[in-house]
Amino acid sequence: MTDARVTDAARAAALDAADPLAAHRDRFVGAETPLVYFDGNSLGRPLRATADRLAGFVGGEWGGRLIRGWDEGWMDLPLTVGDRIGAALVGAAPGQALVGDSTTVLLYKLARAAVDHQQRVDPTRTEIVVGDDDFPTDRYLAESIAAERGMRLRWLAMDQAGGVDADQLRAAVGPETALVLLSHVAYRSAYLTDGAALTAVAHDAGAMVLWDLSHSVGSVPVDLDGWGADLAVGCSYKYLNGGPGAPAFGYVAARHHDTLTQPVTGWIGHADPFAMGPGYTPATGVRRFLSGTPPVLGMLAMQDMLDLLEEVGIAAVRTKSLALTAYAVELADAWLAPLGATVASPRDPELRGGHVTVHHPRMREVTAALWARDVIPDYRDPGGLRLGLSPLSTSFAEVHAGLEAVRAELAARA
Ligand SMILES: *Cc1c(COP(=O)(O)O)cnc(C)c1O
């Protein structure tokens, strides 16, 4: 594997030449510059089409139609965009997905709805199961919901270079488990867990599962209906390129619509918002999980990425993602391992999501130096350099140039 050919720039050029999705990269703003972007798993690049959509919206729908826009589609956007994400990316039949709130707020709403329901049915279900190295928002919410409800947390010990598997979950769930909160792709290691298997393990114990899809949606195929999932939430500003702070999407399986009640009971989730009457009566269907006025501006950019993802198909996106991460692992082995760095992501492609993390004690300084030279990965303590390889906007040549820069910065500190 340390054959010189692995690291040849000509190899990157050949991989790009053979990549059926290569041409789509030019649709992204900045693709023409030498900047290397390795953080599409944190903030996706904008599509060029988005500049036109935003300008058109200000001049047309917003500036021209004004408040009539609410009756001309804006009010339904949370559900229509949700259905597109559901169909193209996460395996959800229509009527089960929505867009709105931040990921954090939507996770809170759905987790609270789930534990409230579970405790109504069986007050002895007093535990929430969550990974001890899961994304902070997920852990903090589990803690605060447990405190609000007088529940306990059961922490799953997570390996920083791995994630939670079915056997580990099986050992943690039981008759006291109300809810399992899990990331499909671990934000640190990119460990890709088996959604169907872990959902089944939780269900066998009578627990509900809330999947955090923030690092999967748009990069890894997800099959929520096929898994028999209960609930899911994901980010739209990562692999869905919705722009900074774009609203989250959520999924509630149809079988739960009539039994779950979410805690943020705003007027938009009411059965008849414009009656403006006394008392809260939830809407039917997934609409009851909405709370306030739909974030219409925030849903514009993601529609351009959805256009592209629908055109390409998530299976082809995953194929390219696997090729990109495999190439990054090869280059890390050839160039960075001799300098003391280690790959802290699964080597088995079946267990790897869309990014690759490389550990070295000096990666914090290396990341700062890389940013200064227009190579943009991100850094996660302790010592983790994350290479987020957004499949449609990242080329093999970019991976080559970026890893070569990491090698140079590490070598300068050896
Ligand atoms: C990015 C991310 C979030 C972000 O939540 P926000 O409310 O959008 O800040 C939550 N969970 C996971 C697993 C993430 O990767």
| pLDDT for residue 281 | 96
| pLDDT for residue 4 | 58
Q: The domain spanning residue 359 has which CATH number?
A: 3.90.1150.10
40: nearest Cα among 22, 20, 19, 25: 25
260: nearest Cα among 227, 282, 237: 282
> What is the C-alpha to C-alpha distance for residues 217 and 321, in angstroms, rounded to an integer?
13
Q: Which domain holds residue 322?
A: 3-48+313-411
Domain identity same for 299 and 352: no
The ligand 1 atom at the shortest distance from the C-alpha of residue 212 is 13
Domain identity same for 213 and 97: yes
Domain identity same for 241 and 196: yes
Two tokens, residue 195: 């959604």
The ligand 1 atom at the shortest distance from the C-alpha of residue 237 is 8
Q: What is the residue-wise DSSP string for 245-302?
A: TPPPEEEE-GGGTTT---S---GGGBSSGGG--SS--BPSGGGGG--SS--TGGGHHH
> What is the C-alpha to C-alpha distance for residues 207 and 115, in angstroms, rounded to an integer?
9
| pLDDT tens column, 230-284 | 999 999 999 999 999 999 999 999 999 999 999 999 999 999 999 999 999 999 9
| pLDDT tens column, 61-92 | 999 999 999 999 999 999 999 999 999 999 99
Two tokens, residue 166: 């079915």
42 Cα: distance to centroid of ligand 1 (angstroms): 9
Domain identity same for 106 and 85: yes
Residues with CB under 6 A from ligand 1: 102-104, 135, 137-138, 183, 187, 212, 214-215, 235
SS3 326: helix
The ligand 1 atom at the shortest distance from the C-alpha of residue 103 is 7
Question: Atom 6, ligand 1: which residue's CA is nearest?
Answer: 103
Residue 135 annotated among the catalytic residues of the structure: yes
Say which residues have a Cβ less than 8 Å from residue 68's Cβ, sequence separation at least 6. Answer: none
| pLDDT for residue 120 | 97
Domain identity same for 119 and 212: yes
Q: For the chain, list residues with pLDDT below 50.
A: 1-2
Residue 38 annotated among the catalytic residues of the structure: no
Of 309, 326, 357, which closes a domain?
Answer: 309
> What is the C-alpha to C-alpha distance for residues 233 and 217, in angstroms, rounded to an integer?
10
Question: Atom 4, ligand 1: which residue's CA is nearest?
Answer: 103
103 Cα: distance to centroid of ligand 1 (angstroms): 6
Residue 238 annotated among the catalytic residues of the structure: yes
Count structural domains, the chain.
2
SS3 24: helix
Instruction: Give the CA distances from residue 66 to residues 72, 75, 383, in Å, rounded to whole numbers and listed in that order.
Output: 10, 13, 50
Cβ–Cβ under 8 Å, residues 264 and 291: yes
Query: How does the average pLDDT of the chain come out, rounded?
Result: 97
Residue 280 annotated among the catalytic residues of the structure: no
Domain identity same for 228 and 208: yes
Please give the sequence-ordered ranges of beta strands (E in DSSP) within 76-138, or none if there are none.
97-99, 127-131
> What is the C-alpha to C-alpha distance for residues 85 and 64, in angstroms, rounded to an integer?
28
> What is the C-alpha to C-alpha distance for residues 235 and 340, in angstroms, rounded to an integer?
34
Domain identity same for 43 and 126: no
Domain identity same for 252 and 164: yes
Q: The domain spanning residue 213 has which CATH number?
A: 3.40.640.10
Question: Atom 2, ligand 1: which residue's CA is nearest?
Answer: 214
| pLDDT for residue 3 | 52
Domain identity same for 197 and 86: yes
| pLDDT for residue 2 | 47
- 80 within some domain: yes
> What is the C-alpha to C-alpha distance for residues 387 and 38, in angstroms, rounded to an integer?
5
Domain identity same for 176 and 88: yes
242 Cα: distance to centroid of ligand 1 (angstroms): 14
Domain identity same for 211 and 272: yes
| pLDDT for residue 31 | 95
Domain identity same for 77 and 175: yes
Question: Atom 5, ligand 1: which residue's CA is nearest?
Answer: 103
